[in-house]
Amino acid sequence: MGEEQESGEEYLFKIVVIGDSAVGKSNLLSRFARNEFDHNTKATIGVEFQTVCVDINGKEIKAQIWDTAGQERFRAVTSAYYRGAVGALVVYDISRRTTFDSITRWLDELNTHCDTAVARLLVGNKCDLENIREVSQDEAKSVAESEGLFFIETSALDSTNVQTAFEIAIKEIYNNISRKLLNSDSYKAELSVNRVTLAKDSADSNRRSCCSS
C-alpha cells in the first residue's frame, strides 16, 4: 500500500438490499459494482456483499452493499444482516404485484432492526418489462410518499437508473451523517467506528469502482 492520503479518513457506509426473492437484488448489485448482468442468476444463499467506491461532494466514499435472499427460510440471518446499516434499497419487481405487496413487511422489518434515520429508497426493478407491468409508477410513488421514501425505477438488465439509485442512497446517507455531525458532537465518537483509511494506490479517479476490502 502507498502513503496515506492527507485527508485519509473517509466513511464506510453499510447499505442493505432487501425484497422478495427474484426481484433482481443480486443483479442490481452486480450491475452497479461490476457492470455485469447474469441471466442465470441463482437465489442468493446466505449473505454476500460488494464494496464499491463512489465520489460524493469530492470525497471518496466506500459503500459496503449487502445482498441476501428474500426467501423466508433464510430469515435467520436477519439480525446480523441489518446490524450497522445506514441505508437500504427496498426492491420489488414491477411485473409482479406480490413483490410490491410485500414492501410493507420489509419496511416493518427494517424499522425493527435499524435506526429510523436509515436512508431508504423504494426501487421498482425490471422497468424493461413495461409490457407486463403490474405496478404503476403512480401507485409506487404514493406508497413512497406515505412512508417517507425516495422512489426510482430501475432495470438491472439494461442498466437504467442503477447507478443513480445507489448514488441517491449514498448521498442521503452522507447528508444524514452531515446533519448529525452538525447537531451532535457526541455523534462523532460513534461515527468514528465507521471510518476507514484509503491509500493513494487504492483511490480511483472514476466515480464508481470496485475497491479492495
pLDDT digits 0-9 by tens, 89-142 = 999 999 999 999 999 999 998 998 887 789 999 999 999 999 999 999 999 999
d(CA 167, CA 17): 14
Measuring CA to CA, how many Å separate 52 from each of 34, 197, 206? 9, 14, 11
Q: Can you give the length of the chain in residues?
A: 213
| Beta bridge mates, 124 | 92, 153
Residue 188 in this model has a pLDDT that exceeds 80:
no
Cβ 40 vs Cβ 89: under 8 Å: no
d(CA 9, CA 96): 43
Residue 11 in this model has a pLDDT that exceeds 60:
yes
pLDDT score, position 75: 55
For residue 160, the SS3 value is coil
Cell output for 197: 483509511
d(CA 31, CA 192): 30
Residue 39 in this model has a pLDDT that exceeds 90:
no
Domains identified in the chain and CATH numbers: 6-210 (3.40.50.300)
Mean pLDDT of 47-57: 80
Mean pLDDT of 24-45: 76
d(CA 197, CA 105): 37
d(CA 62, CA 211): 8
For residue 68, name the pLDDT band (cuts at 50, 70, 90).
Answer: confident
For residue 183, name the pLDDT band (cuts at 50, 70, 90).
Answer: low
For residue 210, name the pLDDT band (cuts at 50, 70, 90).
Answer: very low
Q: Check residue 161 and give left, alpha or beta (phi > 0: left; psi -120 to 50: alpha).
A: left
Cell output for 19: 425484497
pLDDT score, position 189: 45
For residue 69, name the pLDDT band (cuts at 50, 70, 90).
Answer: low
d(CA 143, CA 131): 22
| Beta bridge mates, 196 | 10
pLDDT score, position 47: 61
Residue 44 in this model has a pLDDT that exceeds 60:
no
pLDDT score, position 77: 56
pLDDT score, position 74: 52
Greatest Cα-to-Cα distance within the chain, rounded to the nearest angstrom: 53
Mean pLDDT of 19-23: 89
